[in-house]
Amino acid sequence: MSKLGSIITSAILLATLLLLIPSNLSVRGVGEAFTLSASPGWIAEGNAAGVNMVLSVSNAQFSPPTSYVFNWTITDPSGKLSSVTNTTLSTVSSWSEVANFPKSFAGSIQLVGTYHVNVAEILPAINASVARVQFQTGLTNAAVYNRTTVVSVTGSGYLPSDPVTMSLQVGDQYAPGFPLTKNATAMGIVSF
């Protein structure tokens, strides 16, 4: 067989093989990459705005459109779990999904401490943890203050009209105006 005949035979064989490949194959990359962030990273107890968490997915399956299902789990400082499951239809290779704590969950920000967030993938694959993040909750609206900054203190979870006393001391001396007592609101919140 001549060199030209060999090339033509190879081309016919390749064309035949391409016709035999199914047309419904998924486009798959080398694997998805997941990034999870929480904003703000510090929040005052009882803050109704909550914390926005963003799961960013890159190199996702998208052709044909692929359903991604994630289970978001928050562990509060007492160890109590709150979960929500979200589904996103992937039609592009990079996208984000947002959840807000406590609005998207059956939970609350009523404990001071660290809240741990874990996102597990349920579809298209099963992965117990694709991304983790944490955020802090305190009685104040920030973790650190400059010397002359006004401090806001908020507590929640009190009974309506409960008297709450706040003391501010340096050593064994009370700061001017302290201790200070206020009654909780009808929603059980007290702010100083």
Residues 89 and 184 in one domain: no
Quick one: average pLDDT of 132-145? 91
d(CA 117, CA 102): 12
Domain assignment present for residue 22? The answer is no
The most confident of the ranges 43-47, 88-92, 147-151 is 88-92
The most confident of the ranges 76-90, 100-114, 131-145 is 76-90
Domain assignment present for residue 110? The answer is yes
Quick one: average pLDDT of 101-129? 95
According to the model, what pLDDT value does residue 19 have?
40
Residues 75 and 119 in one domain: yes
pTM to 2 decimal places: 0.74
User: Whole domain around residue 50: which residue ranges?
Assistant: 33-138
Domain assignment present for residue 149? The answer is no
Domain assignment present for residue 83? The answer is yes
pLDDT at 10 > cutoff 70: no
Q: What are the φ and ψ backbone dihedral angles of 105, each rounded to 5 degrees? A: -120, 165
Residues 112 and 51 in one domain: yes
Residues 183 and 113 in one domain: no
Number of structural domains found in the chain: 2
Tell me, what CATH number does 42's domain have?
2.60.40.3880
According to the model, what pLDDT value does residue 150 have?
87
According to the model, what pLDDT value does residue 6 have?
53
Chain mean pLDDT for the chain: 86
40 preceded by cis ω (within 30°)? yes
Domain assignment present for residue 68? The answer is yes
Domain assignment present for residue 43? The answer is yes
Where is average pLDDT lowest: 1-5, 66-70, 142-146? 1-5
Quick one: average pLDDT of 32-37? 98
